[in-house]
Structure 1
């Protein structure tokens, strides 16, 4: 697999948003980025606030740029706040270091990009991202 296709990105997003609705979550928004941090696809669920793109993007962008999922970023920020503050400064404040940013890997372990989901609690956002990734098939998720 050369990367994440638009079709697979849309599937991840659709299934993540469906998971959120099925679980009674607040309206979600989701983005899929390639391994360079560039958007492949984004959707803002009905009723989701308009600023959600920036948060979803920041969750996924941090995962790609730092090579660690949102959960790992949060843990690192709690242990070494100065590191995450410095890293976020390097990336122009575009990193949102909380759960909901999930790295996508292929069967060989190569990073293909990341998913960012936002709209509910960070833990619920992460669960929706994982559901979308599982439904798309052929990918390994690294929260």
Structure 2
């Protein structure tokens, strides 16, 4: 079953709620479907103009490569030329930086990805994972 708009909205709501609760800087959260197409995006008041683009690039990289952006960040360190080529091929949409996770169903099927931008990579990833879990799905 594909990722629903209700699940998407729950992911974003929970991610931004955790960010506010922890006092993180203003965030943007973006959810993409399994084909890398936008399901929904929100940018908190005060978040800079690049936040949605960065969150999208993190999520796009995750869903394109079938791995969390934390894993991609590590791989990029080992293969910088390859990841540079991926970024060029993705026409700027591919950002292998910590702050995005896959969204999986209970069977492990990838439904999409969620990316965040505004805090540290760890903070971004933390709110993404919380959002996915709150929707009854599995972060990956």
Q: TM-score, normalised by structure 2?
A: 0.97
| Displaced runs of 4 or more, over 4 A | none
Whether 2:25 is the aligned partner of 1:37: answer no
CA distance in 2, matches of 1:135, 1:126: 14
Counterpart secondary structure, 1:85: helix
CA-based RMSD: 0.8
1:120 is aligned to: 119
Q: Secondary structure at 1:21's aligned position in 2?
A: helix
Structure 1, residues 46-69: CA drift from partner, whole Å, max 9, x if none? 111122111010000001111111
C-alpha distance in 2 between matches for 1:11 and 1:45: 16
What residue is the counterpart of 1:141 in the other structure? 139
Name the count of aligned residue pairs.
Answer: 140
Give structure 2 stretches of 5+ with no counterpart.
Answer: none
Q: Which secondary structure state, in structure 2, belongs to the residue aligned with residue 36 of structure 1?
A: coil
How do 1:83-122 and structure 2 match up within 5 A?
Answer: 83-122=82-121
Secondary structure in 2 aligned to 1:116?
strand
Task: Please report how far the alpha carbon of residue 93 of structure 1 lies from its aligned counterpart in structure 2 after TM superposition.
Answer: 2.0
Could you say which residue in structure 1 is the equivalent of 2:8?
Answer: 9
Unaligned runs of 5+ in 1: none
Q: TM-score, normalization: structure 1?
A: 0.95
